[in-house]
């Protein structure tokens, strides 16, 4: 009986939140776990109009019901971090062009923070849709050189978004593998999973793929490869569309142990591919009654 | 030889020849080609334009006034990651600091005005200050040990640091100089370069830059070449605030700032000219200010400034 009330209250909270467009509440209660998902057709086309009934969630190995749902487009809240390591120096102009094309695809309500990792991990304090500020940071604050502290950069970018509401993303433009491992890598994965921040990787074709693609897959984000001379405008517009068109799915987890568990989201028929985070953190506080 | 300069300063209203005018005292520092102070200039050597309008220099003096000096050091990762130069005269593994207390004593303290003040600031992610520092070797030894210690390097919010440093000394009496030692690889700034420069000008502070960075031409995959030129931004900052931009091969090679160089940078402002001018009231502020100096012996490094109040 208590569970029914909890679900009802959560539903009310979520409905109220969703009534304000672009402002979905993500964590209405410690009992509800919400995740974002994108769906693509067999042809790779973004599918944004599936109903709630088509989704299936398996959490901690057990099927659970979808108790909250939204497919409203949302404002983009993203930290875009650019790999400025030595190996990217020969792609500096390509990077700037690609980032500028991403800016071109933003809507007025979207907010972006630009940063970089190389000899330094640096993030602009501005999380903004003001194009003048974004362009200024792009032109004045990218300096090639140094290693590839991708994990440190990812942690810094994710931390800078923790206090933001709604769907949050870290967009990483990089050519390869990080130069550090171990603790930073674990911290990045834990932080992104705990905060449900997704990673979208943008790679120049020919570079390494493993770490960036793995991060994107694990967090339910996305990954694209571009060729050096490709006119990336269309692709970056698609990236922006994918960042704002996410299904919001809420479920009550079958365990309450405060630990991380496997998560699998599928759709019922249609041959769709669902991209969502593969882990979730269960609420703590004893067994579910 | 024409030298463009800029400044800002004190304004008072008066009536000249029946027309309302303001007197403006511009602080103008003039350097010889070797970086030393150009001495002996008179009012006939200066021509001044404010808002594009020529105004008369009615008086020029070169009197040493109290000077507040803020030494602001970039301790970000990009600066700290530069390896010791193998051709350094102090040896390839030299850990000699960029600056030592003896240099500060010789360059700044020896000829300081009794009412002058000295500060030290460093930034790596965020900015910290010490000062006013007591004008003795022991106090500076302690400050530099703290200020130039190797700390975990972070980002380079140079423009924010410059703005914060200027605010720190803006209420001091006399002239104010900020000596910025950096590689110019600025990032993570809340302020733009231009906004920081405007704020610095409003604080009455000149920024002189000792550039310890490098510029490079990076060949791109599509056969273009990308130039990374932090020196351009630093040069602009110095010009806009009435300071000087210094890049010195010896400093770049040895990673040590000699007393003669630092002394010249400070003396250029300690012995700057006060140029008194009158201009008609009614020009909207801020106005660009240009000062030209004709002096065959002087090759100037200087300044253009942008605000008059």
pLDDT reported for residue B70: 98
pLDDT reported for residue B15: 42
**Signed CA dihedral, A7, A11, A17, A22: sign only:** positive
CB atoms within 10 A of CB B56: 14
Higher pLDDT, B121 or B305: B121
Specify the range with the lowest mean pLDDT, choosing from A8-17, B47-56, B109-118. A8-17
Q: How many Å from the N-terminal Cα to the C-terminal Cα in chain B?
A: 29
Q: Per DSSP, what are the bridge partners of residue B115?
A: none
Question: Who contacts A287 (Cβ-Cβ below 8 Å, separation ≥6)?
Answer: A255, A256
pLDDT reported for residue A2: 43
**Signed CA dihedral, B294, B111, B73, B306: sign only:** negative
Task: Say whether residue B219 is in contact with chain A using an 8 A CB cutoff.
Answer: yes
pLDDT reported for residue A14: 45
**Chain B residues within 8 A of A92 when measuring between CB atoms:** 218, 220, 226, 228
Task: Say whether residue B81 is in contact with chain A using an 8 A CB cutoff.
Answer: yes
B136: which 2 tokens? 């003795």
User: Residues A127-159: pLDDT tens digits?
Assistant: 999 999 999 999 999 998 888 899 999 999 999
User: Residues B105-135: pLDDT tens digits?
Assistant: 999 998 899 999 999 999 999 999 998 999 9
Give A140-173 as a DSSP string: HS----S---HHHHHHHHHHTTTT--S-EEEEEE
CB atoms within 10 A of CB B205: 28
Q: Which pTM value belongs to this model?
A: 0.83
pLDDT reported for residue B58: 84
Is the predicted pLDDT of residue A287 greater than 60, yes or no? no
Task: Say whether residue B145 is in contact with chain A using an 8 A CB cutoff.
Answer: no
User: Are B226 and A123 a contacting pair at CB < 8 A?
Assistant: no
Interatomic CA distance for residues A84 and B149, integer angstroms: 26
**Residue B142 exposed, middle or buried by CB count within 10 Å (0-12, 13-18, 19+):** middle
pLDDT reported for residue B298: 54
Gyration radius of chain B over CA positions:
20
**Chain B residues within 8 A of A145 when measuring between CB atoms:** 78
Is the predicted pLDDT of residue A1 greater than 80, yes or no? no
Q: Which residues 266-285 on chain B approach chain A with CB closer than 8 angstroms?
A: none
C-alpha pair distances (Å), B151 with each of A117, A187, B74, B76:
18, 22, 12, 9
Query: For B214-225, what is the mean pLDDT?
Result: 72
C-alpha pair distances (Å), B188 with each of A142, B44, B158, B169:
10, 46, 8, 23
Of B187, B193, B230, the CB nearest to A122: B187
> Are the C-beta atoms of A40 and A273 separated by less than 8 Å?
yes
The fraction of chain A above a pLDDT of 90, given in percent, is 47
How far is residue A89 CA from its own chain's centroid? 26
Sorted by where each begins, the domain ranges of chain B are 2-62+273-294, 67-269
Residue of B nearest to A85 (CA): B78
ipTM of the predicted assembly exceeds 0.85: no
SS3 A216: helix
Query: For B281-301, what is the mean pLDDT?
Result: 60
pLDDT reported for residue A26: 44
User: Are A120 and B185 a contacting pair at CB < 8 A?
Assistant: yes
User: Residues B67-81: pLDDT tens digits?
Assistant: 999 999 999 998 887
pLDDT reported for residue B278: 76
User: Are B228 and A119 a contacting pair at CB < 8 A?
Assistant: no
Sorted by where each begins, the domain ranges of chain A are 2-73+246-281, 77-244
Q: Which residues 111-170 on chain A approach chain B with CB closer than 8 angstroms?
A: 115-116, 119-126, 133, 136-137, 140-146
Is the predicted pLDDT of residue B202 greater than 70, yes or no? yes
Higher pLDDT, A24 or A246: A246
Cα B75–Cα A148–Cα B126 angle in degrees, nearest 5 = 25
**Chain B residues within 8 A of A141 when measuring between CB atoms:** 186-189
Is the predicted pLDDT of residue B299 greater than 50, yes or no? no
User: Are A122 and B156 a contacting pair at CB < 8 A?
Assistant: yes
pLDDT reported for residue B2: 33
User: Are B221 and A91 a contacting pair at CB < 8 A?
Assistant: yes
Q: How far is A146 from chain B (nearest CA, A)?
A: 8
pLDDT band at A194; cut points 50, 70, 90: confident
SS3 A53: helix
**Chain A residues within 8 A of B154 when measuring between CB atoms:** 120-121
Domain boundaries A77-244, corresponding CATH code: 3.40.50.410
A259: which 2 tokens? 């630990």
CB atoms within 10 A of CB A245: 18
3-state secondary structure string across B204-258: CEEEEEEECCCCEEEECCCCCEEEECHHHHHHHHHHHECCCEEECHHHHHHCCCC
Domain boundaries B67-269, corresponding CATH code: 3.40.50.410
**Which residue matches tokens 């630990």?**
A259
User: Residues A83-138: pLDDT tens digits?
Assistant: 998 888 888 888 999 999 999 999 999 999 999 999 899 999 999 999 999 999 99
User: Are A126 and B190 a contacting pair at CB < 8 A?
Assistant: yes
Is the predicted pLDDT of residue B199 greater than 60, yes or no? yes
Is the predicted pLDDT of residue B5 greater than 50, yes or no? no
DSSP letter at A60 equals T
Question: Who contacts B50 (Cβ-Cβ below 8 Å, separation ≥6)?
Answer: B24, B277, B279, B283, B287, B288, B289, B290, B308
pLDDT reported for residue B38: 86
Question: Who contacts A75 (Cβ-Cβ below 8 Å, separation ≥6)?
Answer: A22, A107, A109, A110, A111, A166, A167, A244
């Amino acid at each position: 009986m208590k569970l029914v009330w909890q679900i009802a209250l959560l539903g009310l909270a979520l409905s109220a939140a969703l009534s304000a467009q672009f402002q979905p509440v993500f964590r209405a209660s410690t009992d509800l776990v919400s995740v974002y998902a994108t769906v693509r057709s067999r042809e790779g086309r973004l599918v944004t109009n599936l109903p709630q009934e088509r989704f299936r969630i398996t959490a901690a190995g057990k099927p659970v019901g979808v108790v909250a749902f939204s497919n409203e487009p949302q404002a983009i809240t993203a930290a875009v971090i650019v790999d400025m390591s030595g190996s990217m120096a020969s792609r500096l102009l390509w990077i700037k062009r690609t980032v500028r094309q991403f800016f071109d695809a933003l809507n007025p309500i979207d907010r972006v923070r630009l940063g970089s990792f190389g000899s330094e991990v640096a993030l602009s304090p501005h999380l903004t849709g003001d194009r003048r500020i974004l362009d200024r940071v792009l032109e004045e604050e990218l300096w090639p050189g140094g290693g590839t502290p991708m994990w440190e950069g990812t942690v810094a970018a994710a931390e800078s978004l923790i206090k933001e509401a709604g769907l949050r993303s870290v967009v990483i433009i990089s050519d390869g593998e990080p130069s550090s491992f171990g603790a930073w890598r674990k911290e990045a994965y834990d932080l992104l999973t705990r905060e449900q921040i997704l990673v979208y990787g943008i790679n120049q074709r020919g570079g390494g793929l493993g770490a960036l693609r793995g991060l994107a897959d694990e967090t339910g984000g996305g990954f694209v490869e571009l060729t050096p001379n490709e006119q990336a405008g269309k692709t970056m517009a698609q990236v922006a569309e994918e960042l704002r068109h996410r299904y919001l799915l809420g479920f009550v987890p079958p365990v309450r142990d405060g630990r991380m568990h496997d998560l699998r989201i599928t759709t019922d028929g249609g041959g769709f591919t669902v991209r969502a985070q593969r882990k979730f953190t269960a609420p703590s506080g004893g067994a579910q009654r | 030889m024409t030298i463009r300069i800029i400044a800002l300063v004190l304004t008072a209203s008066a009536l000249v020849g029946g027309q309302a005018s303001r007197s403006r005292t511009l602080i103008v520092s003039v350097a010889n080609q070797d970086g030393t102070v150009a001495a002996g200039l008179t009012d006939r050597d200066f021509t001044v334009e404010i808002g594009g309008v020529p105004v008369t220099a009615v008086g020029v003096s070169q009197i040493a006034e109290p000077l507040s000096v803020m030494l602001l050091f970039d301790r970000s990762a990009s600066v700290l990651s530069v390896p010791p130069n193998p051709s350094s005269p102090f040896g390839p593994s030299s850990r000699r600091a960029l600056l030592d207390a003896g240099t500060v004593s010789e360059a700044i303290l020896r000829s300081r005005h009794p009412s002058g003040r000295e500060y030290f600031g460093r930034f790596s992610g965020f900015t910290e200050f010490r000062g006013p520092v007591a004008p003795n070797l022991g106090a500076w030894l302690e400050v530099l040990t703290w200020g130039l210690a190797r700390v975990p390097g972070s980002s380079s919010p140079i423009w924010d640091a410059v703005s914060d440093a200027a605010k720190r000394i803006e209420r001091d009496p006399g002239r104010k100089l900020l000596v910025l030692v950096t590689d110019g690889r600025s990032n993570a700034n809340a302020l733009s370069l231009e906004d920081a420069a405007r704020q610095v000008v409003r604080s009455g502070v000149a920024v002189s830059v000792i550039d310890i960075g490098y510029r490079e031409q990076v060949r791109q995959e599509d056969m273009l070449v990308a130039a990374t030129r932090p020196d351009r931004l630093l040069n602009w900052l110095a010009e806009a605030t009435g300071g000087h931009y210094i890049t010195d091969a010896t400093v770049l090679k040895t990673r040590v700032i000699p007393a003669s160089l630092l002394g010249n940078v400070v003396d250029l402002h300690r012995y700057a000219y006060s140029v008194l001018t009158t201009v008609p009231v009614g020009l909207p502020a801020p106005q660009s200010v240009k000062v030209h100096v004709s002096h065959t012996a002087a090759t100037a490094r200087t300044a253009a400034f942008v605000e008059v109040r």
